[in-house]
Amino acid sequence: MNISIVIPLFNEEESLGELTDWILRVVNRENLSYEIIYVDDGSSDTSWKIIEDLNRGNSNIKGIKFRRNYGKSAALNRGFDLAKGDVVITMDADLQDSPEEIPDLYRLIKNEGFDIVSGWKKKRHDPIGKRLPSKFFNWTTRRISKLKLHDFNCGLKAYKNVVVKNIEIYGEMHRYIPVIAKWAGFSKITEKVVNHNARKYGKSKYGLERIMKGYLDLISLTFVSKFGKRPMHFFGLIGTLLFFIGLVIAAYLTYAKVFMMEYKMTDRPLFYFGLLAMVMGTQVFVAGFLAEMISRNSFHRNEYLIEAMVGDKSAE
């Protein structure tokens, strides 16, 4: 199968029929074998009934319905599990992503050998209240990830099948799929300018709270990717530095008491800073030790992504 098109949705009953017809026109014109996987993220309208009707008319159109709203990351993760196409394309269900981009995205993956092609909505039809936070978010993510992409949050992306089978997304991590893939070893990542249409039906499902969630997830992702298998390297270093600072302060105060005749050490604020530093250093170090013990006993502690292997038939 050439492509799997994974489309997460939440209350998009007005656009589903039109979107499906548009996709079918494109894939049939390009003679691409396909499957369309709709993931209904707990819609309360008639979206699921429409998906069932579409499936009855075309078995290549498939659907999954969550019992409640879990979020876009969960929907994409479930869709990735089911995707069978050589190239997996994701897009939103609100008609703001154009299916006319599908052939070029497919060719960039299949013919040019990229692992991921991320859409770049260079000209956006969104209010300024969404555009400005998005620009700042993308700038921050570029600086941290060292990935030169302009639009991490664009829903229109294409992946090699092997990429989506070897990454896991949860929470609000769908914004960072290129970052997750890069840290998993998939380095051939590029972007393509794509058309961004004005919203035709309904209203945006995302509010300002996603900005804070996005940055918290970026911090979490950065930490897990760097120290997930060696937490002691992070906590142990910070704990040791704090304890050493406290120890130096305690040594200085002891010297001052013995040789400089300062009898009231506890009257000096420096005494409490030193005591606090030693206590915090001990706590952080112990936290790192416990995290290391948990990591060492994890079932996945020695799982690593292998690209290729030769000469060992037993591993096949």
Question: What's the rounded mean pLDDT across residues 95-106?
Answer: 94
Which pLDDT band holds residue 95 (cuts at 50, 70, 90)?
very high
Q: Which of 153-162, 254-263, 281-290 has the lowest mean pLDDT?
A: 254-263
Cα(24)–Cα(50) distance, integer angstroms: 16
Residue pair 223/120 in contact (Cβ under 8 Å)? The answer is no
**pLDDT value at position 8?**
95
Question: What's the rounded mean pLDDT across residues 280-293?
Answer: 86
| Whether residue 113 has pLDDT greater than 70 | yes
**Which of 119-128, 170-179, 278-287, 289-298 has maximum average pLDDT?**
278-287
Q: For 188-225, b where at least 16 C-beta lie within 10 A, e where not — what string?
A: ebbbbebebeeeeeeeeeeeeebeeebeebbeebbeeb
Give the HSE-up count for residue 281: Cα atoms under 13 Å, Cβ half-sphere: 16
Q: Where are the beta strands (DSSP E) in the chain?
A: 3-9, 34-40, 61-65, 87-90, 116-120, 157-160, 189-193
Q: Compute the radius of gyration of the chain from its Cα atoms.
A: 26
Dig out the tokens for 228 from the structure: 């997930």
Which pLDDT band holds residue 315 (cuts at 50, 70, 90)?
very low
- Fold topology of 3-225: Spore Coat Polysaccharide Biosynthesis Protein SpsA; Chain A (3.90.550)
DSSP assignment of 118-156 equals EEE-SS--S-HHHHHHHHHHHHHHHHHH----S-TT-S-
**% the chain with pLDDT above 70:** 82
Residue spans per domain, the chain:
3-225, 232-296
| Whether residue 107 has pLDDT greater than 90 | yes
**Which of 24-33, 213-222, 233-242 has maximum average pLDDT?**
24-33
**% the chain with pLDDT above 90:** 51
Kindly report the pTM of this predicted structure: 0.73
Residue type, 27: V
